[in-house]
Chains A and B, each alone.
Chain A
Amino acid sequence: MLTVLANPARFMAVSRPLVPVLGAATALLLAVGTWLSFTAPPDYQQGNSVRMMFVHVPAAYMGLFAYACMGGASFAGLVWRHALADAAAKAAAPLGAGFTFLALVTGSLWGKPMWGAWWVWDARLTSVLVLFLLYLGYLALHAAVEDETRAARAAAVLALAGLINLPVVKFSVDWWNTLHQPASLLRADGPSVAPEILAPLLVMSLAYTCLFGVLWLVRTRAEVWRRRAHSVRRAPAMRATLTPEAA
């Protein structure tokens, strides 16, 4: 499956009809999810602020999901040297950073009325912030290295180092937090979420996943096009340097 898609031409052919289909599914799910979010009854404790969760929880989940996708693509790019995997990893990074940023901002907006503070040095907040910093490092490294393939490989090594480090960060931050204060603030109520709240949450999660999928496809396709345009633009110059007498 993956090796079939590793051929850029075949990927472009397969992904072309996929984009409008996924896009339509995203629009539909977002519409239904938004409608459910606003019609859900207010929470008995959080009141209307609970609606923030329908934006916040899927964003946080997508931030992690995008990093896993980026790490997987980086691994494929490093091991099998697929140019397409490099393009996919590069395309996933800003999306993941965006979702993580959205999770941080919406969490902060939710925290002010709920906890009375914009930011609390809670374990989960801190680990999401570290995730965001990892994205920033990835993007900065990719942008700072001139040569395209070299930048992709360096960034891929960094993505994998971050992927290995991320569970340790999660553990250490949890450990640090419980050392200082009992974990009391951010309780996700486990599975005991009321069905009226759970339905919009699930639909919105699905919508975000589709949104990420379609944006990822579009960005990867754009990256493939960009590289083609780059090589087409460079072709006359290459020919001129190879055969100087023809010029």
Chain B
Amino acid sequence: MSARRPTPLLALFLRDMQLAWAGGGGPLLAGAFYLGVAALVPLSAGPSPERLAAMAPGLAWLVLAVASLLSLERLFEPDWEDGALDLLAQGRAPLAAVAAVKAAAHWCATGAPLALLAPAAAVALGAPVRIAGPMLAAALLGGLAFAYLGAIGAALSLGARRGGLLIAVLVLPLLVPPVIFGAAAVEAAALGGPWLPSLALLAAYALLAVAAAPFAAGAGLRNALG
């Protein structure tokens, strides 16, 4: 064998990235949803610039959390349906590592593009331009937490009836800390205050999610395979 073959987990990561971008550009769909909901905000809250500017950072952040929930349903389900998950379970890598890699690929494919949109949406709603940097950082870190916490919900609701809505109900209470920390960072940046402490807390929470959530998600996958 001449060319070095990638390790199984790396191959899984690359495969998931390719699948995410193949056929219809899945990440773009989440981005379109994000922009669509952001466009509804001025329509429902009124076009008054002062009012919008006051709400813009928080709303851009909230819509980001909701948009990242939507794509979770297809995180494990296709692999579970076509039997790829059974093959992955028979591999040497534990299912927790499989869950971690798939969540990481999900974040790269969906979370990161959404994070790029977040500052644009916030500024379009009337937030000051100086929040763009903190907003991007918060959206990247928050998206990481959303992806890994979401993986728990996606794995646990495999094979359940009403999958999509169920994932949202399972995951939303878990999202309280990252939403609070991220919104605080963005809010502080909008007011010109110190936003790094909140961002550090958000980063801590995201790292905790990355470290702990794969075990719960892996247990959920094992359980779904039975």
Contact = CB atoms under 8 A, between A and B. Distances in A.
A217 B61 CA distance: 44
A158 B205 contact: no
A168 interface: yes
Contact of B156 (A147, A154, A171): A154
Main secondary structure of the interface of B (DSSP, over half): helix
Interface string A140-161: 1100111100100110011011
Nearest to B173: A133
Given A144-B160, A161-B174, A176 B180 contact: yes
A141 B160 contact: yes
A169 interface: yes
A236 to B, nearest CB: 25
Interface residues of B, number: 29
A172 B169 CA distance: 20
A172 B180 CA distance: 7
A136 interface: yes
A130 B173 contact: yes
Interface stretch (B3-11, B131-139, B215-223): B215-223
B46 interface: no
A157 B170 contact: no
A231 interface: no
B219 A78 contact: yes
Contacts of A232: none
Nearest to A172: B177
Interface centre among B160, B201, B212, B219 (most CB of A within 10 A): B160
A200 interface: no
Interface in A104-157: 130, 133-134, 136-137, 140-141, 144-147, 150, 153-154, 157
A147 B225 CA distance: 12
A173 B177 CA distance: 7
25 contacts: A78-B219, A130-B173, A134-B173, A137-B172, A141-B160, A144-B157, A144-B160, A144-B166, A145-B159, A150-B159, A150-B224, A154-B157, A154-B223, A157-B223, A158-B152, A160-B216, A161-B152, A161-B174, A165-B173, A165-B177, A168-B208, A169-B176, A172-B177, A172-B205, A173-B176
Given A154-B224, A169-B173, A172-B177, 17 more contacts: A78-B219, A130-B173, A133-B173, A136-B169, A137-B172, A140-B166, A141-B156, A141-B157, A141-B160, A144-B162, A154-B156, A157-B152, A157-B156, A160-B216, A161-B152, A165-B177, A172-B201
Interface of B: 152, 156-157, 159-162, 166, 169-170, 172-174, 176-177, 180-181, 184, 201, 205, 208, 212-213, 216, 219-220, 223-224, 226
